[in-house]
Structure 1
Amino acid sequence: MKRAIFATVVLGAVLEHQLQAKLAPKAFEPLPLGTIWPAGWLYDQLQVQTDGVAGHMHEFYPLVANTDWTGGDSYYSYLEEAGSYWFNAMVPNGILMNHTVIKKKSREFLDYVLDNQDFTGWLGPEVGTEKPRYLWGRYPFFFGAIQMVEYHTELTDRVVTALHKFVRLANTMLRNGEGVDKWAETRWEDFVVTLQWLHDKHPRGQEDLLVDTMRRLKWSGTPWEKVFSRDLFPKGPVEQIPNPFGKDLYWHGVNMAEGLKALPATYRFTLNTSDLEAATLSWDLLFKYHGRPSGAFGADELLSGLEANRGSELCLVVEAMFSGSYLYQVIGDLKFADRVERMTYNALPATITSNMWGRQYLQQQNQVAAKNMTPNPFPEDGPESNIFGLEPNYPCCTVNFPQGWPKFITNAFLATPDKKSLVHLYLGPFSARLMLADDNAVSVSVETLYPFGDILNYQIRAEKDFTFYVRIPSWVSGGSLSVNGDAKQRFSPNENGLQKVDLKKGATTLVLEVPAEITVGMYPRLSSSPNVVVDCQMAEYRPHGSVALHRGPLNYAFDIARTEKVLKVNPDEPYAVDLEYDPAGVWEYAIDPSQLSFHYNPPEGNVLPSPVFDSGKTPMSITATACHIEWPLGGDMFTSNPPKNPECIGENTVITLEPLGATKLRISEFPVFNASKNGVEGATNSRAQVPLKL
């Protein structure tokens, strides 16, 4: 009897141990780098990035530039923040653009880091020094190394061996209470994602060690389930709220953007559905209390509430995009994908010059100037945080922002866990080539102007029958699908927001129409206009009775005329300039949200201008009946809050709103007025409304 009891206990312990070493499957599987490629205007946008500072900083920018590979004190040779960020972005950027120099430089970076791995397993500049060893600076490098392996499979053994060696050291360090500084404490989830890639793809019998390291990272780091809890989450600007954790970095915008990955990553090794529920709550709380119509959230260093003159950091945007992609892959909720697309098509281009040689540290929804503001509205950041330049305020965004477009592209298609079906997640112009299960070779080409058009044309070829899914965004109103020229079908998406299409082997043509209506984020007033939708998912509450306008994924803004002044020219690169913008026209407008019209001018030859995110370049606009009001500044060239119930000081007029990403000075959260009570209504805009083309 005792032997039987002992055997039962041992068996139970073994089974529990085996269970702990397993990971929960994702709802969808990402595809390796080299599977998905940009096309059309999206390819051009990545070309603009490559021709800008992102593709040239290795030539002149001291934090990453180096031509001497003997090491020395070069940041580029080391895994400090700058080099690690640069590598993480440039690996996919170089490969997607087939850029010889960038591919060569990123490979040299990888080789240097691996060649200089310490005998203990450590990777980074602390080898052979007395510098303390902290884990975080390696995490972006790991993401870049993973993508190198995905594309250059011949590197697999070398990279995976180095990573496993580092994991053994990291596990020992965590057991000894070492390696965790304030940044490693808040960004532990990025290492966990790397460990899960090893566990899923290249475990080498080390599943127990990998899962144990995941657990130790979680318990050594920020308790994100508490930070994002209903009781403790800050519901306004945090400079006005006592911090219950005593650690401001828990409320740091970029940390929180990365921290959105923590709870779905935790679920994979705990298998607790409560972690998924907490992950969903985290997303909802963040955007309810700090969200922006651009799709980003407000944090001018720390969380800043809903006010339109507070800032959103560029690093925050690209990290939230990446986290949202991971959340969808693990959980499969449509809201994650919808918001990532909003961020990408609004917040990302809005904070970078159209030629992508200059960027802001902070963008504002209502941004009437980009210059030194003293005093300024950013409690934790400097007065030049919203000028456009090489490295205003802090340099991190210069080396980190280039991951945005490449990783959006590489996450645009997914596979189902059984590898039998393909999912088109982010809408836009792409091509994809891959092998599904059962040796089913599939290729997909998507020709579209989306989000600057409502029609997507697919050419699909497959060796065998398979199921294809397309995400139908929540803002689509009506819409249809046609297969091989057959009659149009209405969409019937599943709970993940995916439209299922069963395809036969051979060639298939799909045509999707994804029209949308203007949505108005207004509260509590309702619109009587039949072509305006109110209180849908996109119509988020804005303070002071103000409104924000959307159509499809695009947020619309009044593009303020501006003057430009060059503040500084980099002595080593004349394209790298710091720019100051001042308003050169009236911007103090209220609008009547019941009098809005959407306009579309098809681009010549169905080819968008380059760069498309520039004043007057996009084919879409919204006209609004407006009036001039008194709207004082809140300080030195930043707006005060939108005035409630403003008095008009002029007759009704019509103003034109452009996609926010094409504006650099803007109003995108408007006071409202009733045009019928302000005398003569504005004239009809002369731009004809026409059906949307490809």
Structure 2
Amino acid sequence: MLRALCALLGLTSAAIAAKFELSPKKFLTLPLGDIKPAGWLHDQLQVQTDGLAGHMHEFYDLVSKSDWIGGDSYYSYLEEAGSYWFNAMVPNGVLMNNSIINEKTQEFLEYVLENQDATGWLGPEVDTEKPRCLWGRYPFFFGAIQMVEYKPELTARVVDALHKFVKLANRMLRNGEGVDKWAATRWEDFVLTLQWLHDFHPRGEEELLVDTMVRLKWSGVPWEEVFSEEYFPTGPVENLTNPFGLELSWHGVNMAEGFKALPATYRFTHNQSDIDAANLSWDLMFKYHGRPSGAYAADEMLAGLEAVRGTELCLVVEAMFSGSYLYQVIGDLKYADRVERMTYNALPATLTANMWGRQYLQQQNQVAAQNMSPNPFPEDGPYSNVFGLEPNYPCCTVNFPQGWPKFITNAFLVTSDKKGLVQLYLGPFEVQTTLNEDNLVKVSVETFYPFGDNLNITITATKSYMHYIRVPSWIVGGSMTVNDGEKTGLVPDEVTGLLSVTIGKGLTKIALHYPAKIVIEERPHGSIAVHRGPLNYAFDIPRSEKIIAQDPREPHAVDLQMGPIGAWEYALDADPATMSFHNEAENDDHYKLPSPIFDSGKPSVSIAVSACSIEWPLAGDMFVTSPPENPECLGDVKTIQLVPFGATKLRISEFPVFAHSEPSLRVGNSYQIGDDSEPVQKPFNPTKPN
């Protein structure tokens, strides 16, 4: 039967290895707990733990224990809410060593395992006539896998339960059961769980596991066609007819999860065409829907390039996770660069600084966060960009907390032979792990990055090994010093972006200088976006805040309406030679980044730009129109400050241009400032995302 399914999928018998083997990933993840946040990143996760994420189990109906009994609600228990919450809070609790959260996730795991029925189904079915749907369990599986990594003593029970479920799921798929419209788009998440079992706990069931992978792919959306140049939509889709008969294949969050489908498929087909299609999917998405913040636009469905269209918070955290998986399988620098941009821009921008409130949709140009009339979002409600407990839909409330923890747990990888350590994402970390041949390695990374250009890495190892450090595409020049050696330039691998450093037994110290240039990105309507390093810079609009709702069970859980209390109608001079970068921490050895760092006035970095006031009308109630082209200045040119996008809640980040002077250096669709004699390395180019 598997061979017949392979034929239907266009796979040859040779494509499925004789022993049902999987193609190896280029890089492997470390067990949960081996990587810990440090410095400002630890502070950021502490803010999340002290905020809504760390307390919703105390009062929020969708994840409080009273809701564990199941029911007909789509969001109840393992249909979505509990599963999302568990997936996020397992790593959150472990990384912060939070005993209360760890107890709650353990209690949740025990409850699910104890209620597995005789057929293998996970999740109690109480007073419900709903048909069984597979998808809601998938985030739970991810959380359970992480618990096994952290607590190996749980392995037997969790693996037993997963194998029982796989046997049931395989029968359901054979009978055409368990696949609703959500499971049809999110089948790749189950495939990742099956591959974890295959890689580490196959128990002789390799054929069944691969058979289930193939059946899942056959049951769902053909992502290689959705992401093909023939069918991929190049603009907003609300007035288009979906050629696949399933509108949810253009749903922003589904597509964020769908990025994993093609690299996951490659592992059991062994077909290079799947890798090629995966690469194309990423490039098409960010070419036609990409944001300077690193994310892409989908206010429910794909929304094009207009700065006022929305990006869902669930989309951001799912795309971050998928980008990490893509790098692990394929090893292309563009995935890691894009994930870092999303993490340091789009993720914090859509949360209040104390992380008690979140938006459903964020906008690149967002001059208000309030209940809007007329509704600016074709597929979502007018309340979607309000900061609160659950504006528009509750899914982002329970799903957003996976963002920071999973960025941290994917920040370091090991090579496929388990002999080398890969420092993928840049920031402050502490790592302790054991490589092959019992090589205990400890790594400490001290840095303000992305709020600084220097990284100091201290490594102790019981044996020599190869250490790899990512050099992002936006680094221009730069240097490295190992111990007391000479300063050398950076020569990373052209594909992976990794710089290799031989680490000897004992203590090694590495000093990295990662400078970047101010980069101007061309956007629609002749507008521009401003970048330096991984950070997108925006004008932080002075704002008022008004509490418009409060949860009676938790006084911190409020809905905030925000409005502008200062001018925001600015056009910029497009010449980056008129812009200057400032970093308060640059020459102060005693400087400490404030917490929470992603709040107005907190980041140490800014860019001064030449600007003038212009006429820029609104569309409806505080909904900004597209940037006007070739606007006239209404007064004198002055200097305004742009700050990191993630620290703004009301903002302009795609600016009209009032001058068209020739920049000092232009490459493709981007500009950079700096000494022309310095090398230009892979400038930011929106048509070929980094």
Please tell me the residue identity of whatever aligns with 1:590: A
* Cα 1:676/1:319, change in 2 over 3 Å: closer
Pairing 1:598–2:581 present = yes
TM-score (norm 2): 0.92
State the SS of the aligned residue for 1:19.
coil
Paired with 2:359 and 2:657, the residues of 1 have a C-alpha distance of 29
Could you tell me whether the CA contact under 8 Å between 1:66 and 1:74 is conserved in 2? no
**Could you tell me how far 1:94 is from its partner in structure 2?**
0.3
Pairing 1:508–2:508 present = yes
**Could you tell me how far 1:636 is from its partner in structure 2?**
1.2
* Cα 1:572/1:142, change in 2 over 3 Å: same
Paired with 2:31 and 2:272, the residues of 1 have a C-alpha distance of 28
Please tell me the residue identity of whatever aligns with 2:225: K
Could you tell me whether the CA contact under 8 Å between 2:387 and 2:559 is conserved in 1? yes
Query: Which piece of structure 1 moves more, 374-383 or 36-45?
Result: 374-383
Pairing 1:650–2:631 present = no
The answer for the alignment partner of 1:43 in structure 2 is: 42
State the SS of the aligned residue for 2:425.
coil
Paired with 1:235 and 1:75, the residues of 2 have a C-alpha distance of 32
1:405-436 deviation digits (Å, cap 9, x = unpaired): 00000000000000000000000000111110
State the SS of the aligned residue for 1:323.
helix
1:94-493 superposed matches below 5 A? 94-126=93-125, 129-493=128-492
**Could you tell me how far 1:131 is from its partner in structure 2?**
2.5
* Selected match of 2:651 from 643, 663, 666: 666
Could you tell me whether the CA contact under 8 Å between 2:69 and 2:124 is conserved in 1? no
Could you tell me whether the CA contact under 8 Å between 1:300 and 1:313 is conserved in 2? yes
Could you tell me whether the CA contact under 8 Å between 1:66 and 1:76 is conserved in 2? no
**Could you tell me how far 1:668 is from its partner in structure 2?**
0.1
1:237-273 deviation digits (Å, cap 9, x = unpaired): 0013222122210100000000000000000000000
Aligned length: 646
Could you tell me whether the CA contact under 8 Å between 2:476 and 2:514 is conserved in 1? yes
> Structure 2 regions of 5+ residues with no counterpart?
1-11, 663-690
1:595-635 deviation digits (Å, cap 9, x = unpaired): 21111111772311010000010000001100100000122
State the SS of the aligned residue for 2:492.
coil
The answer for the alignment partner of 2:677 in structure 1 is: none
Paired with 2:41 and 2:320, the residues of 1 have a C-alpha distance of 16
Please tell me the residue identity of whatever aligns with 2:539: F
Pairing 1:633–2:618 present = yes
1:530-578 deviation digits (Å, cap 9, x = unpaired): xxxxxxxxxxxx1001000000000000000011111011100000000
Paired with 2:362 and 2:277, the residues of 1 have a C-alpha distance of 29
Pairing 1:610–2:609 present = no
**Could you tell me how far 1:125 is from its partner in structure 2?**
3.4
1:675-694 superposed matches below 5 A? none
Pairing 1:575–2:560 present = no
Please tell me the residue identity of whatever aligns with 2:518: I
The answer for the alignment partner of 1:496 in structure 2 is: 496
The answer for the alignment partner of 1:84 in structure 2 is: 83
**Could you tell me how far 1:77 is from its partner in structure 2?**
8.5
Paired with 2:16 and 2:332, the residues of 1 have a C-alpha distance of 31
Pairing 1:589–2:574 present = no
* Cα 1:303/1:150, change in 2 over 3 Å: same
The answer for the alignment partner of 2:3 in structure 1 is: none
The answer for the alignment partner of 1:25 in structure 2 is: 24
**Could you tell me how far 1:124 is from its partner in structure 2?**
1.5
The answer for the alignment partner of 1:7 in structure 2 is: none
The answer for the alignment partner of 1:689 in structure 2 is: none
Query: Which piece of structure 1 moves more, 418-427 or 244-253?
Result: 244-253
Paired with 1:181 and 1:388, the residues of 2 have a C-alpha distance of 31
Could you tell me whether the CA contact under 8 Å between 1:517 and 1:551 is conserved in 2? yes
* Cα 1:248/1:651, change in 2 over 3 Å: same
Paired with 2:17 and 2:474, the residues of 1 have a C-alpha distance of 44
Paired with 1:391 and 1:358, the residues of 2 have a C-alpha distance of 8
Paired with 2:409 and 2:145, the residues of 1 have a C-alpha distance of 13
**Could you tell me how far 1:674 is from its partner in structure 2?**
1.7
Could you tell me whether the CA contact under 8 Å between 1:75 and 1:83 is conserved in 2? no
Identity of counterpart residues, as a percentage? 71
* Cα 1:462/1:156, change in 2 over 3 Å: same
* Cα 1:440/1:625, change in 2 over 3 Å: same
Paired with 1:389 and 1:69, the residues of 2 have a C-alpha distance of 24
Could you tell me whether the CA contact under 8 Å between 2:574 and 2:660 is conserved in 1? no
1:124-149 deviation digits (Å, cap 9, x = unpaired): 23368532101000000000000000
**Could you tell me how far 1:376 is from its partner in structure 2?**
2.2
Q: RMSD of the alignment, in Å?
A: 1.8
**Could you tell me how far 1:19 is from its partner in structure 2?**
2.8
Could you tell me whether the CA contact under 8 Å between 1:346 and 1:554 is conserved in 2? yes
The answer for the alignment partner of 2:673 in structure 1 is: none
The answer for the alignment partner of 2:520 in structure 1 is: 520
The answer for the alignment partner of 2:605 in structure 1 is: 620
Paired with 1:226 and 1:37, the residues of 2 have a C-alpha distance of 39
Paired with 1:125 and 1:75, the residues of 2 have a C-alpha distance of 14
Could you tell me whether the CA contact under 8 Å between 1:64 and 1:76 is conserved in 2? no
**Could you tell me how far 1:20 is from its partner in structure 2?**
6.1
Query: Which piece of structure 1 moves more, 77-86 or 168-177?
Result: 77-86
Paired with 1:290 and 1:160, the residues of 2 have a C-alpha distance of 40
Could you tell me whether the CA contact under 8 Å between 1:59 and 1:65 is conserved in 2? yes
State the SS of the aligned residue for 1:37.
strand
Could you tell me whether the CA contact under 8 Å between 1:475 and 1:552 is conserved in 2? yes
State the SS of the aligned residue for 1:582.
strand
* Cα 1:393/1:74, change in 2 over 3 Å: closer
Could you tell me whether the CA contact under 8 Å between 1:118 and 1:127 is conserved in 2? no
> Structure 1 regions of 5+ residues with no counterpart?
1-12, 523-541, 678-694
Please tell me the residue identity of whatever aligns with 1:559: D
State the SS of the aligned residue for 2:77.
coil
The answer for the alignment partner of 1:539 in structure 2 is: none
Paired with 1:271 and 1:15, the residues of 2 have a C-alpha distance of 9
TM-score (norm 1): 0.91
Paired with 2:427 and 2:443, the residues of 1 have a C-alpha distance of 12
Please tell me the residue identity of whatever aligns with 1:642: P
**Could you tell me how far 1:583 is from its partner in structure 2?**
0.4
State the SS of the aligned residue for 2:158.
helix
State the SS of the aligned residue for 1:609.
coil
Could you tell me whether the CA contact under 8 Å between 2:189 and 2:257 is conserved in 1? yes
State the SS of the aligned residue for 1:102.
helix
Could you tell me whether the CA contact under 8 Å between 1:312 and 1:363 is conserved in 2? yes
Paired with 2:224 and 2:471, the residues of 1 have a C-alpha distance of 30
